Amino acid sequence: MNDEQFQRDLRHQSGFLLEHIARKIPDILKRILAPEDVLQQVWVNACRHYSTFRNNEDRSLKKWLITIADRIIIDEFRKHTCPKRGGHNGPMEKKNDLATSLFNLFVDVMEPCRSPGSELVAQEIAKEVQIALDQISEERRKVLIMRYVDDLPQEEIAHRMEKTIAAVNSLLYHGKLQLAKILKDSGSQIIIEWGQS
């Protein structure tokens, strides 16, 4: 089988494989793992390991692709459920609240009109925002956290910090500017990809 035939056969299998993947993804992962993301990983792995594939009676391309897909799903399941690998052994809601809040801050800071299609991307971005937040002044960091993580209105933030609303708005504005600069200058691959999309 030549490369052109292999690519044609891959495209031919995509519909069936996408349905298979959608059925196989466990309920616990359905909110964070899209079948299309798994399919993309299958294509990448298949192209990387094409030279190891042998099309004979015992092993068809379809079976080989299913095996790759199943292994990817198992790896994702382990990654998200095993504490040793940074996963969870229970409801994921608590951890995602902070990630979602930090991601919302990132979206507001970087470009409000863009929205990545995966919670995994949001979690990676949240990590980058957390690192960047540690680099800005304490007052600005406090205001940004109260506004975006604690979801407090400016009036409440002003009361808690014993500042005027205008001072809080200024801290928010300058904090977001500083955060945006740090994120853009970070060289993080996920931030670079966000800027190119």
The residue ranges of every structural domain in the chain are: 3-85, 93-196
- Per-residue pLDDT tens digits for 102-158: 666 766 665 544 444 455 666 677 778 888 888 999 999 999 989 888 888 999 999
Of 121, 125, 136, the closest CA to residue 181 belongs to 136
**Percentage helix, strand, coil for the chain under 3-state DSSP, each rounded to 5:** 75, 0, 25
Closest listed residue to residue 114, CA positions, set 30, 177, 196, 40 = 196
Whole-model pTM?
Answer: 0.42
Architecture of the 93-196 domain: Orthogonal Bundle (1.10)
CATH of domain 3-85: 1.10.1740.10
Alpha carbons 107 and 118: distance in angstroms, whole number: 14
The Cα–Cα gap between 174 and 132 comes to: 14
Q: Do domains 3-85 and 93-196 have the same CATH topology?
A: no
Give the integer Cα–Cα distance in Å for 193 and 46.
24
